[in-house]
Amino acid sequence: MEKRTSADLDFVFFPRNVAVIGASPTEFYTIALLLSKMNPNLYLVNPNYKELHGRKCYASVLDIEGPVDYVIFDLPTRMVTKVARECVQKGVKVIHSFSSGFSETGLQEGIDLEKELVSIIKGKVRMIGPNCMGVYCPKSGLSFNPGATNIEGNIGVIAQSGTFAQTFVNSGKTRNVRISKLVSYGNAVDLNCPDFLEYMADDPDTRVIAIYIEGILDGRRLMSALQYAAARKPVIVLKGGVTEQGGRIASSHTASLAGSGRTWSTMLRQAGVVQVDDIEDLLDAAIALSQSAPPSGNGVAIITYSGGFSVVQSDMCIKAGLDIPKLSPPAIEELRRFVPVTGTMIGNPLDAWQVYYNIKENEPGMDDVFRIISGEKDIHSVIFQLDIIRFMLPRWGADFEKNFPLIVDRIMKGLSYARDRGKMAVVSNFLDPYTENEKERHFNLQFKKRCEAEGFPIYGLLAAAVNAVATAYRYTGLKKH
C-alpha cells in the first residue's frame, strides 16, 4: 500500500534538540527531559534564571546558538503569542504548547487569542496543542513524565486528553504497556488526530493504535485517516462525549465538536475501527494486540480451576460475542488419560485443577493440556485462569517456594504452545492489590512479571481478559466485512 507523504512526522517525534520555555527547578518537562536520552540536546529558557540544573539558562529562544527543532511552552497564556513569534523568527520546526486558556474556555478572550496564535504559526511552524501534554517517545527521549519508563514498545497512542495520555504512560510500569509513540494534542489548532493516525499507520515500530478522541471539525478527513490506518493494523477508539451531557463537557474541555454517539459509532464501524466504552477496555485491548495477532475467529477455550468460574466466564464470553466450541472426541479422549474425572470437568470449559500441581517431568502437566487444546481447529483463543496464591500456596505449604518456578515453567510452556499455533493466549490471575500478606504479593508479582517477560497479556479480572479477547476478535470481524 502506498504511504501517505503528508503523514511524515519524524521531525515531531525525533527532533535533534528541544527547548523548554518556562523551565524552572521544579518544572516537569524540564525534569522529564533531563532524565531521558534527550538530556544532551536540551535547552532551558527562562529570563529569571542564568543557570538551571547545572547548565546555562537562556533568556529567550532567540539567544540559543544554532537551530532549534522543537519547543515546549509551559508559560502563562498571556505570553504565548509573543514567544510564538520569536519561535517563528528562530525558524523552529515544532511548537508544543502545554499552556491553556484558549478556545476551550468558551470565553471570547481565549477564542481571539487562539485565532491570533494560528495566524502567527500558519505555514511557518507546526504546532501541537495548545492545552495538551505533547509527545512521549522512548526511542527519541521525548517525554512529559519524569517517572516514565524508557522501554520502547509497539503501542501507538493518540489522546485528546492529557490525563488519558498520562494514564497510558503511567501504565508502562504497572501494566506492561509498552509505547512506541504517544501524543496528547488538545485543542489541535494545527496538527490533529488524522495527521498522527496516518503517521502511526505507516510506522514500523507501531503494531496497534489506541485513540481517545472527544471531537473533530473535519469528519471526512478523520474518516479517511481511520480507514487508511485500520487497513494496516488494529485501531481501537474510545470516544468521549457520546451523550448529550458528555458532549457538552467535551466542548468545554478541548473546544471540540463532539457529535452524536450514534453517528460516531457508525463512522468507526464503517472505517473498520473497534470502539470501546472505557479506558480500561482501551488499555486491555491494546495490551493484548501489542503481544499477539488478532484471533482468526471467535472460538475460545477456557482453562480454569473452578466449575463455578467456568460457568461465569462462559456467560461473559457469549455476551461478548465469543463462542465456546466443544472439543473434538480425540481431544477429550486424550485429556481423559491424565485429567482425573473426580472434581474436574473435561470439555470446554476445562476444569483441570488437579493437573495444575503436576510438576514432575514424567507426569502430564499444564503444558500437555495447552498442547491438546491448541490443536483444535475451532479454537482461536485461550483464556487461562489462575489464582496462584489462594489456590496453590495452601496446597504446597512450605514447599511452595521450591515448586513455584516448576509450576510456572509448565504454564509458560503451555501458553507458548498456544501462541506458536496462532492462538491468542491470555491469562486471568487474581492479583489482589489489597492483600497485606507479603508472601502473596511477592509470588503474584513474580508470576505477573514472568507472563509479561514471555509476552503473555495478564489481567487481574475475568471480565478484563474476556473483553480483551473479544475486542481483538471484533477487529478481525470488521476486517472480514
Name the residue type at position 191: L
Quote the radius of gyration of the chain (alpha carbons, Å): 25
| 3-class DSSP assignment, residue 21 | strand
CA distances to 9, 53, 55, 345 from 16, rounded to whole Å, are 13, 21, 18, 60
pLDDT tens digits, one per residue of 416-435? 999 999 999 999 987 666 67
As given in the structure block, the three cell numbers for residue 422 are 496462532
Give the burial class of 399: count Cβ atoms within 10 A of its Cβ; 0-12 exposed, 13-18 middle, 19 or more buried.
exposed
Q: Taking a C-beta distance cutoff of 8 angstroms, is the pair 354, 307 a contact?
A: no
Q: What's at 453, amino acid-wise?
A: A
Q: Find where cell 508479582 sits.
A: 445
DSSP 345-410: B-SSSEE-GGGGG--STTS--HHHHHHHHHT-TT--EEEEEE-IIIIIHHHHGGGHHHHHHHHHHH
pLDDT above 60 for 29 = yes
Of 20-24, 88-92, 345-349, the one with minimum mean pLDDT is 345-349
Residues of the chain above pLDDT 90, percent: 75
Q: Whole-number mean pLDDT of the chain?
A: 91
Evaluate if residue 387 carries a pLDDT over 80: no
Rounded Cα distance, 476 and 481, in Å: 9
What the block records as the C-alpha cell of 329 is: 472426541
Q: How sure is the predictor about 139, in pLDDT bands with cuts at 50, 70 and 90?
A: very high
Q: Which residues contact 399 (CB under 8 A, 6 or more apart)?
A: none
| 236-240, 285-289, 386-390: range with lowest mean pLDDT | 386-390
* Domains identified in the chain and CATH numbers: 5-289 (3.40.50.261), 294-480 (3.40.50.261)
Say how far apart CA 204 and CA 152 lie, in whole Å. Answer: 13
Reference 232, options 471, 479, 472, 455; nearest CA is: 479
How far is Cα 247 from Cα 51, in angstroms, rounded to an integer? 45
CA dihedral 37→41→44→49, nearest 10 degrees, is: 100
257: confidence class by pLDDT, cuts 50, 70, 90: very low
Residue 244 has pLDDT above 80, yes or no: no
The whole-number pLDDT of residue 1 equals 53
- Reading the block at residue 421, the C-alpha cell is 499455533
Per-residue model confidence as pLDDT tens digits over 153-206: 999 999 999 999 999 999 988 888 999 999 999 999 999 999 999 999 999 999
Contact between 128 and 135 under an 8 Å Cβ cutoff? The reply is yes
Asked whether the predicted pLDDT for residue 246 surpasses 70, the reply is no
Q: In whole angstroms, what is the distance from residue 219 CA to residue 225 CA?
A: 10
